[in-house]
Amino acid sequence: MNGTILLETLQDVLPEDVIEAAANDLGVVLRARKLDVTRLVASLVLSNGSDDIGVLAEAYRRYNSGAAGRVVRGAFYAWLDDELARLMECLLRRALDSVATLPPLLPGVLGADVEDWRVFDSETITLRPALADVFPASGSPAGVKVHKELSLGRGCMIDYHLSPAREHDSPHLVVDERYRGMGLLFDLGYVSLKRIRECDERGIRYVSRLKENWKPRIISLHRGDVRAEICPEADLDITLADERIALDGRCVDATVVIGKGQYAVTSRLVMIPGPEGYLIYLTNLPRETHGPKQVGDLYRLRWEIEGDNKVDKSGAQLDQIRARTESSVRIQLCAKLLHTLLVDVLVHSDNLERVRDKRERRAPLHKLALSYAIRTRHTILLAALLVSATTAEWDRIARDLAEDARDPNWRRRPSVLDRMLGMIAPRGRPRRKKLRDCRPSAVSYRTRGIERRMHHEAN
């Protein structure tokens, strides 16, 4: 990551001319007053509060620290109305459209037979009881659920929508023609026989875990240690209980049918040995391009959206919304999602740069660490963005951010995504060996200690 990439990303997520034009169109600024709408939006996105102060209180303090004219707290909170909420939603939607145009990074098996992989998940935020009429919840009086769609090829959220927390996740996913030629990674909350059938009809690849209440029947076995004859459409559970297929650490690959009558679907079932038994997946990926272990690795990439949710909650503090009005909730949700989107785009740009320059093996940017680094330096970033800092200043800021955000455990524990992208490096030398190599002689510390004791006794 360099200063140019950092500046272009910030200008793309927080474009000053677009913010001012949209503010005028949406009625955010009705008359000449103290409001600096660009500074207000940037303060909401970059600061995101801290552990010892509220989100809006932090934004208010940061806004006043650099604004031309100070405003009182009441006037500041009066700006957080429906017009500003629509402005933030417009900026977030524009940023998502821009992310969709980024070049995907899908080398090797990741890009085989698909244009991109999409992951779906939701995260629930508890709100104040006063908002129960707008955002009803189940376990608490009020809550809002953020439904996210993540692109694995770009490492970024590309779509979202909100719903009351009491609603289930599954109805909010619609599998239609826009996913043709892509791959979907289903969580157990989203997978169903209907969705599997829709994927097969529209040419969509999928990978999912097998639900416990599903009873697959074996049509044909393509891989596995068969110990006895298997009857046509034999129940998988009974076949395994009778030890007709030996589970001795080998993978199992079979074609199965699930459901009955008009609801029955045919799928590929793979079983992979795991730390606590076998893991069972359903997929329609071809066996020629994806073996059982590769199918399992693909499903493990669903964890990328869980990591993105962690950036939302721990980095952008999405779960610390204490607003009392619907407009303030919408403003803060959009600001925090824009913060995470900014982090994701910077990490994706750095990954593209790492792939292009394969000779330089450097650690990837850790998303959560980068979010913390941006929050720590948001005052410097805001000042540089609004006063048009020089290229040298942007390079220095980008270098400081990258130094704080590099993953220190990359060589020792590379992620599944890094391994599938081929961005790994051999583990470094042990620390003791490094210390020995730094000394002028090759004598060990123990030998030198013995020599010192012998010299002391002789004297």
Cβ-in-10-Å burial (0-12, 13-18, 19+) of 139 comes to exposed
With tokens 């010299």, the residue in question is 455
Per-residue pLDDT at 344 exceeds 80: yes
Chain segment 200-241, per-residue pLDDT in tens: 999 999 999 999 889 999 998 888 888 777 877 888 888 888
Spatial separation of the C-alpha atoms in residues 354 and 350, rounded to whole Å: 6
With tokens 């583990």, the residue in question is 427
Chain segment 365-384, per-residue pLDDT in tens: 899 999 999 988 888 888 88
Spatial separation of the C-alpha atoms in residues 55 and 323, rounded to whole Å: 9
246 and 159 fall within a common domain? yes
Q: What is the mean pLDDT of residues 429-454?
A: 54
Per-residue pLDDT at 121 exceeds 90: yes
Question: Domain residues for 237?
Answer: 108-304
Chain segment 300-330, per-residue pLDDT in tens: 999 999 999 999 998 888 888 888 889 889 9
Per-residue pLDDT at 340 exceeds 60: yes
Per-residue pLDDT at 70 exceeds 80: no
Looking at every residue in the chain, the average pLDDT score rounds to 84
Per-residue pLDDT at 280 exceeds 90: yes
Q: What is the pTM of this model?
A: 0.85
Give 46-52 contacts, CB < 8 A, sequence gap 24+: 46/339, 46/374, 46/375, 46/378, 46/381, 46/382, 47/375, 47/378, 48/315, 48/316, 48/317, 48/335, 48/336, 48/339, 48/375, 49/317, 49/320, 50/375
Spatial separation of the C-alpha atoms in residues 340 and 351, rounded to whole Å: 17
114 and 83 fall within a common domain? no
Token output for 41:
């939006």
Give the end of a domain, one of 365, 381, 405. Answer: 405
Residue 56 lies in a domain: yes
Q: Using the 8-state DSSP alphabet, how is residue 313 labeled?
A: I
Percent of the chain with pLDDT over 70: 88
Residue 415 lies in a domain: no
Chain segment 129-186, per-residue pLDDT in tens: 999 999 998 888 899 999 999 999 999 999 999 999 999 999 999 999 999 999 999 9
255 and 288 fall within a common domain? yes
Spatial separation of the C-alpha atoms in residues 242 and 263, rounded to whole Å: 28
pLDDT of residue 330: 92
Residue 431 lies in a domain: no
Residue 426 lies in a domain: no
- How many domains are there within the chain? 2
Per-residue pLDDT at 456 exceeds 80: no
Per-residue pLDDT at 65 exceeds 80: no
Residue 312 lies in a domain: no
**pLDDT band per the 50, 70, 90 thresholds, residue 53:** low
pLDDT of residue 420: 80
Spatial separation of the C-alpha atoms in residues 321 and 89, rounded to whole Å: 17
Spatial separation of the C-alpha atoms in residues 288 and 91, rounded to whole Å: 43
pLDDT of residue 442: 45
Spatial separation of the C-alpha atoms in residues 430 and 409, rounded to whole Å: 14
**Selected residue with higher pLDDT from 427 and 349:** 349
Per-residue pLDDT at 443 exceeds 50: no
With tokens 């359903």, the residue in question is 282
Across 77-86, 166-175, 421-430, least confident range: 421-430
113 and 236 fall within a common domain? yes
345 and 275 fall within a common domain? no
pLDDT of residue 324: 86
Q: Each residue of 404-420: b (16+ CB within 10 Å) or e?
A: bbbbeebeeebbbbbeb
Per-residue pLDDT at 434 exceeds 60: no
85 and 117 fall within a common domain? no
Residue 425 lies in a domain: no
**Selected residue with higher pLDDT from 336 and 320:** 336
With tokens 């707290």, the residue in question is 73
pLDDT of residue 32: 46
Spatial separation of the C-alpha atoms in residues 208 and 188, rounded to whole Å: 7
Residue 420 lies in a domain: no
290 and 354 fall within a common domain? no
290 and 331 fall within a common domain? no
pLDDT of residue 90: 92
61 and 16 fall within a common domain? yes
pLDDT of residue 49: 56
Across 70-74, 248-252, 393-397, least confident range: 70-74
pLDDT of residue 33: 56
Q: Using the 8-state DSSP alphabet, how is residue 350 labeled?
A: H
The DSSP bridge partners found for residue 255 are 220, 268
Chain segment 410-422, per-residue pLDDT in tens: 888 888 888 887 7
Per-residue pLDDT at 76 exceeds 80: no
263 and 346 fall within a common domain? no
pLDDT of residue 98: 92
88 and 137 fall within a common domain? no
267 and 175 fall within a common domain? yes
